[in-house]
Amino acid sequence: MMSERVVHNLAVVEQHIRDEARDVDAVMDLYTDDVVLEVPSRGLRLDSREAIRANYVAMFGSMAEVELQPLERFATEDRVVDDMIVRFRLTGEGMVSAPVPIGARVELRLVHHFAMRDGHIAREQVFEIWRQIPDTAPSARAA
């Protein structure tokens, strides 16, 4: 049986994943005041809620045709790990240091490592594997 703390940590991460693209302000309440977000593959380190919020607004504003494929999620008393595949079209410059051109369809393997403190996310590390995939849009097939 999972402890209440583990269940709570899983619920916080579920809300984070579900809402980060559509309700950025609600997601900010899930972070500690001294949160750090790191995406090593793109050289990104953000160390405030304000910086993370600005990044999310720009990043999700540059993504379209988003599909999430959850693979696995598990937790301990102070950690949550989430593994998923995300497919999307990159539509703008808001994804800092994206290794694919704007307009590309992407399959992105994401492994999130969340360090939890007092029921909030204190550190989020995002490990990414990028792969450009064939465009399945009707206009791309006709070209």
- The model's pLDDT over 58-76, given as tens digits with 9 standing for 90+, comes to 999 999 999 999 999 999 9
Tokens of 137: 């849009």
Give the separation between CA 70 and CA 112, rounded to whole angstroms: 12
pLDDT for res 24: 94
Kindly report the backbone phi and psi dihedral angles of residue 96, in degrees, each rounded to the nearest multiple of 5, phi listed first. -55, 125
Is the predicted pLDDT of residue 139 greater than 70, yes or no? no
Task: Please give the domain boundaries of the chain with CATH numbers for all domains.
Answer: 4-134 (3.10.450.50)
pLDDT for res 137: 65
Mapped onto helix, strand or coil, the DSSP state of residue 53 is helix
pTM of structure: 0.91
Tokens of 87: 């497919």
Question: Model confidence over 107-122: pLDDT tens digits?
Answer: 999 999 999 999 999 9
Under 8 Å between Cβ of 98 and 90 = yes
Instruction: For residue 80, name the pLDDT band (cuts at 50, 70, 90).
Output: very high
Give the separation between CA 138 and CA 35, rounded to whole angstroms: 42
pLDDT for res 2: 86
Tokens of 58: 């720009």
Is the predicted pLDDT of residue 90 greater than 80, yes or no? yes
